[in-house]
Amino acid sequence: MKMLALYSIKGGVGKTASAVNLAAEACRDGRRVLLWDLDPQAATTFYLRAKPKVRGGVGKLVKGKAALDKVIRNTGVEGLDLLPAAIGSRAMEQLLEDRKPSRLRRMLQPVHDDYDLIILDCPPSLSTLAEQIVSSVDALLVPVIPTTLSQRTLDQLRHYLDDANQDCPVWPFVTLADRRRKLHREIVDDLGEHWPTRLSTTIPNASAIERMGLERAPVNAFAPRCAGSRAYAALWREIAQRLG
């Protein structure tokens, strides 16, 4: 079982859309996927038409006392299950205090054999939860919009990992890009020079991706031939190749 996290210090970078679409593409590739919504805003949970509620509460989940088969829900996407966010997700930071590293991976141990891939949709923060995320996953997938501030937060993430002595692989990729704009092209090129681990696929600023909130589904479910859907399919193939 592999674990990946869609993670960024900055909000509004297409993190949730990427988590949902990459999970859907992995399912189309024949993988059994669990998508865990760790963000209290519960956008992933909303996109997949679920209620933001964890049966038994987040406390039992963190302590390993929750029956995961009663917490995890099916979705309308074949092969994709969801561990939804909940209002109590805001308390997870406190509940994870003083826990040993890789607690998130240990919490999912009972369903280890049920899935080929687990994807975490993470809140934008540097916190106790972030420490648990980077110690649990096989790689961080970091969406970067083509702006100077977004690039800056990527550098901040690198410094954070260095200071914490964490060697978790970081795989940045560009989202919300418009190739017609010179600044966007320059930032895309610059990212490749400074981050050799960057994923080469660029996700365009596409209207179909924006419609996910209305359709409440991955983009390949309602606009499979659009540029955004093709881009996420290509991005997944690139990730799958790295995962082996």
Per the structure, the count of domains in the chain is 1
Each residue's pLDDT tens digit, 91-150: 787 888 888 899 999 999 999 999 999 999 999 988 899 999 999 999 999 999 998 888
Helix 148-163 vs helix 182-194: angle between axes, to the nearest 10 degrees? 20
Asked if residue 172 lies in contact with residue 144, where contact means CB atoms within 8 angstroms, the answer is yes
Rounded CA gap, 244 and 234, in Å? 16
- In a 13 Å sphere around the CA of 30, the CA atoms on its Cβ side amount to 1
Dist CA 158 CA 172 (whole Å)? 11
The model's pLDDT over 51-78, given as tens digits with 9 standing for 90+, comes to 998 888 888 888 888 889 899 999 999 9
Q: What is the pTM of this model?
A: 0.95
The overall average pLDDT reported for the chain is 92
Expressed as residue numbers, the domain containing 56 is 2-243
For residue 144, what is the domain's CATH number? Answer: 3.40.50.300
E strand or H helix that includes residue 219: helix 219-222
Give the count of beta carbons closer than 10 Å to the beta carbon of residue 66. 21
